[in-house]
């Protein structure tokens, strides 16, 4: 059974996808960019602020689905510039440091709306 998860406390999808899907006790959260949900605008040009907002958006989706950051088992982090790796990790650690999910972090040529970071997670109970 598949359940679509949607909340106004995270940015609306920018394309034909769901914020998250729950299937068989696993929550798949789509990559979240650092948009402020109420305005659908970029939080800041600062990569640390962008990382924080992306994680706040993930937190809102997790909460809507009845999950928490402690339930995250995997994360994928896309960054525009690998030179920002340490800054992104500093913020990421505040949200997921104790959880230590499996993770991939890759530098990409371009992200939606030219943001500097996008993060997606998988959670399970």
Question: What are the tens digits of pLDDT across the range 14-64?
Answer: 899 999 999 999 999 999 999 999 999 999 999 999 999 999 999 999 999
Active site residue 105: yes
User: Within 1-125, where are the H helices?
Assistant: 47-64, 85-96
Q: What is the model's pLDDT at position 37?
A: 97
Name the DSSP class of 12. Answer: P
Longest dimension (CA), the chain: 41
* Active-site residue identified among 21, 105, 111, 122: 105
Of 16, 14, 17, which is closest to residue 5 (Cα–Cα)? Answer: 17
Give Cβ neighbours of residue 74 (< 8 Å, ≥ 6 apart). 101, 102, 103, 121, 122
Q: What's this model's pTM, rounded to 2 decimal places?
A: 0.97
């Amino acid at each position: 059974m598949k359940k679509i998860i949607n909340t106004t406390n995270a940015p609306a999808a920018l394309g034909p996808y769901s914020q998250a899907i729950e299937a068989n006790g696993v929550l798949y959260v789509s990559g979240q960019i650092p948009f402020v949900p109420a305005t659908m605008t970029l939080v800041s040009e600062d990569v640390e602020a962008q990382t924080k907002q992306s994680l706040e958006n993930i937190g809102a989706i997790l909460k809507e689905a009845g999950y928490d950051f402690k339930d995250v088992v995997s994360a994928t982090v896309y960054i525009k510039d690998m030179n920002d790796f340490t800054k992104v990790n500093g913020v990421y650690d505040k949200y997921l440091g104790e959880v230590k999910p499996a993770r991939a972090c890759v530098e990409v040529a371009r992200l939606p709306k030219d943001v500097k970071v996008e993060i997606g997670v998988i959670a399970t109970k």
